[in-house]
Structure 1
Amino acid sequence: MNLSTAAVTVLTTADPAEKVRLSRRFAEEWRTGAISQPVAAPLPDRPARPTEPQLLPVRDMPPRRKGGSAAGRTALVHALAHIELNAIDLSWDIVARFGSDMPKKFSDDWVQVADDEARHFDMLSHLLESQGSRYGALPAHDGLWQSSQDTAHDLAARLAVVPLVLEARGLDVTPAMILNLRKFGDDAAADALQIIHDDEITHVAAGRRWFEYVCAEKGLEPIPTWQTLVKTYFKGSLKRPFNEVSRSKAGFAAAFYEPIAD
């Protein structure tokens, strides 16, 4: 099996538990050399999805409950699990779509990200079950895959938007979620989010590293190129405050994002 075939297998698997199992298996097989280098291959426009959760436009999503209620915390964990499920597919998509034209280390990095995202989803799924719920029990929004479709033609654009906007935003908002969860005594959820936050630093670092590589290959300056791509392909604004400590750990300097922030 080559890595593109493995990636397409994950992308076309609808059951979340099976998607996690395959992701973790293929990541280990890639690390041991049992899976060969990616080759150019046709990819699905959208990943396979289970019948639940109900996917809604962002504008139609019910408002998330605030405060320390158990229902509100469950809704938060469900929303994060949905993000992680999409992140699994985004990671495999970047490997299969662009990996055949990149150094092996590129695939090494994004297979590791896929493995991390699968582990995160599994962790959050079990957390939902411990709260008397399950993934799919609540509606989720259907906008997360749009960034993949918008940047399917351009690796620089994909790196600019997915790890360096969407995942970097996770670094900004997660610490406050952790503090709030601990405030209401939900240490299990807080511990899970801390793991996710720390892993996301390495994901943003990979995005920044490969974005700079692509820019160097094309003779482009990274900072203005990133700003132009974000303005072109990101449907939204960069929102303050930024977690500059965590972003800096990923090597993602404020000179990239501060000049174009909302």
Structure 2
Amino acid sequence: MTTLGEAARAVLLTPDPHAKRRAARALARGWRRGDIAHRCDVPLPDRPAWPAAPELLAPAQMPRRRKGGSERGRIAMLHALAHIEFVAIDLAVDLVGRFGGEFPRGFVDDWLGVAADEAMHFALLDRRLRALGSHYGALPAHAGLWEAAEATADDALARLAIVPMVLEARGLDVTPATVTRFRDAGDEASAKILERIYADEIRHVGAGTSWFEWLCDERQMEPRATWQSLVKARFRGSLKPPFNDSARRDAGLTQEYYAVIA
């Protein structure tokens, strides 16, 4: 029987975006069917395999996206979001393959569900790009999205603190305004995709917060103080308002976590 570690490694080492998203969804289905053993018994790569395109650039080298509702600007935004969702597939799979053995089966259930969601989000965004005459890989993309995984590869608690509870939570802050911008430009199709992603991301942040608190309880650590300490030590950036307090609260990430260090 294939183990969870072996299956996760296979997804991470799949470079083609569409093959990777199919592999992630197949992993989630295999786990639900009971075809995969709950063992994380193989080393995972430091970095996943990715395609030759898009070209990955440092944040300072990324072209500035035009404000407003031009089609060119909307394509650039959709492409950036598609890249985030593509990397998010690997982030969820790596979390499971690297740390899943430290948790009960419910953790794997949740995070393979997240991986399948991210694969679906990527497919929706790439399909929308193609409808607008573009595709994933047509524009450069941000090279720094995997840095948080590298910085937290040694500790599940740090990974949960940074990836879902900082990076994905930031998506909750900015997505509603992005939806409005697309809708004001008359792009209802894109707006509906982003609304679907937004609803799913609340659940993802909720899973991160819930399992972070579970692991804090296992280690007899106070969650909020521990999270604040980890963010200060492990996050290469700062928490900046405005925050979508209501969406964060729906995910269990209350102001007591982030207000004091924002």
TM over 0.5: yes
Structure 2, unmatched stretches of 5+, are none
Deviations 1:60-82 (A, max 9, x none): 11111111100000000000000
Query: What is the CA–CA distance in structure 1 between the aligned matches of 2:253 and 2:52, rounded to whole Å?
Result: 38
- The 8 Å contact of residues 40 and 99 in structure 2, kept in 1 or not, is answered as no
Query: What is the CA–CA distance in structure 1 between the aligned matches of 2:61 and 2:110, rounded to whole Å?
Result: 36
- How many pairs were matched up? 261
Structure 1 position 204, deviation (Å): 0.4
In the TM superposition, 1:214-229 aligns within 5 A as 214-229=215-230
Name the aligned partner's letter for residue 153 of structure 2. A
Name the aligned partner's letter for residue 87 of structure 1. A
Deviations 1:163-196 (A, max 9, x none): 0000000000000000110001101110000011
Which contiguous aligned blocks of 4+ residues in structure 1 show a shift greater than 2 angstroms?
Answer: none
Name the aligned partner's letter for residue 216 of structure 2. C
**3-state SS of the aligned residue for 2:260?**
helix
Structure 1 position 33, deviation (Å): 1.1
**3-state SS of the aligned residue for 2:67?**
coil
**3-state SS of the aligned residue for 1:138?**
coil
Query: What is the CA–CA distance in structure 2 between the aligned matches of 1:189 and 1:13, rounded to whole Å?
Result: 28
**3-state SS of the aligned residue for 2:66?**
coil
Query: What is the CA–CA distance in structure 2 between the aligned matches of 1:38 and 1:171, rounded to whole Å?
Result: 33
Query: What is the CA–CA distance in structure 1 between the aligned matches of 2:113 and 2:73, rounded to whole Å?
Result: 31
Query: What is the CA–CA distance in structure 2 between the aligned matches of 1:220 and 1:90, rounded to whole Å?
Result: 25
Query: What is the CA–CA distance in structure 1 between the aligned matches of 2:184 and 2:93, rounded to whole Å?
Result: 36
Structure 1 position 38, deviation (Å): 2.8
Provide the residue aligned with 1:61 in structure 2. 62
Provide the residue aligned with 1:205 in structure 2. 206
Provide the residue aligned with 1:253 in structure 2. 254
Name the aligned partner's letter for residue 3 of structure 2. N
Name the aligned partner's letter for residue 88 of structure 1. I
- The 8 Å contact of residues 38 and 100 in structure 1, kept in 2 or not, is answered as yes
Deviates more, 1:33-42 or 1:181-190: 33-42
- The 8 Å contact of residues 58 and 143 in structure 2, kept in 1 or not, is answered as yes
**3-state SS of the aligned residue for 1:259?**
coil
Provide the residue aligned with 1:106 in structure 2. 107
Query: What is the CA–CA distance in structure 2 between the aligned matches of 1:247 and 1:78, rounded to whole Å?
Result: 25
Structure 1 position 252, deviation (Å): 1.0
Provide the residue aligned with 1:72 in structure 2. 73
Query: What is the CA–CA distance in structure 2 between the aligned matches of 1:60 and 1:151, rounded to whole Å?
Result: 25
Deviations 1:9-68 (A, max 9, x none): 110000000001111111111111122213221010100010100001111111111111
Name the aligned partner's letter for residue 204 of structure 2. H
In the TM superposition, 1:56-205 aligns within 5 A as 56-205=57-206
- The 8 Å contact of residues 152 and 158 in structure 2, kept in 1 or not, is answered as yes
TM-score (norm 2): 0.98
Deviations 1:212-239 (A, max 9, x none): 0111111110001000000111111111
Query: What is the CA–CA distance in structure 2 between the aligned matches of 1:215 and 1:101, rounded to whole Å?
Result: 13
User: What's the Cα RMSD here?
Assistant: 0.7
TM-score (norm 1): 0.98
Query: What is the CA–CA distance in structure 1 between the aligned matches of 2:19 and 2:73, rounded to whole Å?
Result: 28
Query: What is the CA–CA distance in structure 1 between the aligned matches of 2:156 and 2:36, rounded to whole Å?
Result: 23
Query: What is the CA–CA distance in structure 1 between the aligned matches of 2:40 and 2:253, rounded to whole Å?
Result: 30
Name the aligned partner's letter for residue 237 of structure 1. S
- The 8 Å contact of residues 38 and 95 in structure 1, kept in 2 or not, is answered as no
Provide the residue aligned with 2:39 in structure 1. 38
